[in-house]
């Protein structure tokens, strides 16, 4: 039942948000790499859930993902080049 899936996704997003907040409090700032990795993974999983369910890409023919995937390539390109430009 798709409506159930949508409500489950919402519950997951709520719980994941709370998990992020808890992680930011519990993991000390000195372990920021671990903390940021955990939060990043959770955030990406939440975004993926929204894309797959609320944007319904899970239920659409694969070609509908064309724009999203090609744009993600350029998003990754942008983020990588910009952040790498300062690394020495």
Partner 1 sequence: MSVEERLSAIEKRLSRIEKQVGGHRKPEATWLRSWLFTTDHKRVGILYFVTSFYFLFIGGILALLMRTQLAVPESTLLTSAAYNQAVSMHGLIMVLWFLSPLGVAFANYFVPLQIGAKDVAFPRFNAFSYWMYVFGGFVAISGFFVPGGAASAGWTNYAPLSSKLFLPGGGETLIALGLLMLWGSLTMGSVNLITTILSMRAPGMTWTKVPTFTWFTLVTQLLLVWSVPSIFSGTLALIVDRTLGSLFFVSSGGSSVLWDNMWWFFGHPEVYVVILPGLGAAAEIISVFSGRPLYAKKAILLGLVFGMLPFSFAIYGHHMFLTGINALEREIFTMNTEINTIPSGMIVICFAATMVGGAIKFKTPMLMALASIATFVIGGVTGVFDSSLFLDVQLRGTYQVVSHFHYIMVGTAEFALFGAIYYWMPRWTGRMYNEKVGKLHFILSFIFFNILFFPMTFLLDMPRRIYTYAPATGWGPFNLIETVGAWGFGLAQILLLYVMLEMGWFGRRVGTNPWNVASPEWTGDVESYVKNYPAVYSMGSHATDGGVPAHAETPLNISPFVISAGLALFLFGLVWSLPVTLVGIVVGIWGIGTWFKDDLYGLFKVPEEPAGEKWPLTHLSHVKVGVWLTLAGEMILFAAIIGSYLYIRESVPIWPPPAAIHNIRLATFNTLLLFSSGLTAFLALYSIRNGNRNGLVGWLGATFALGAGFLSIKIIEWWQLMTGNPPFTIASGLPGSTYYFMTGVHAVHIIVGLILMTFLITKGIKGGFTKTNHDAVEYFTLYWALVDIVWIFLFPLLYLV
Residues near partner 1 (CB under 8 A): 2-3, 6-7, 9-10, 13-14, 17-18, 20-21, 23-24, 29, 32, 35-36, 39-40, 43, 46-47, 50-51, 53-55, 60-61, 63-64, 66-68, 70-75, 77-79, 81-88
52 three-state secondary structure: helix
Query: In angstroms, rounded to a whole number, what is the distance separating the alpha carbons of residues 30 and 18?
Result: 21
Output the smallest distance, CB 56 to partner 1, in A.
Answer: 8
Output the smallest distance, CB 68 to partner 1, in A.
Answer: 7
Query: In angstroms, rounded to a whole number, what is the distance separating the alpha carbons of residues 10 and 74?
Result: 28
Q: Taking a C-beta distance cutoff of 8 angstroms, is the pair 27, 35 a contact?
A: yes
């Amino acid at each position: 039942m798709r409506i159930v899936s949508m409500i489950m996704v919402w519950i997951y997003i709520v719980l994941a948000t709370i998990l992020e907040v808890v992680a930011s409090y519990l993991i000390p700032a000195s372990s920021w790499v671990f903390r940021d990795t955990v939060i990043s993974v959770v955030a990406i999983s939440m975004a993926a859930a929204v894309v797959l369910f609320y944007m319904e890409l899970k239920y659409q023919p694969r070609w509908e993902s064309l724009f999203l995937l090609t744009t993600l390539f350029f998003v990754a390109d942008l983020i990588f080049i910009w952040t790498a430009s300062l690394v020495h």
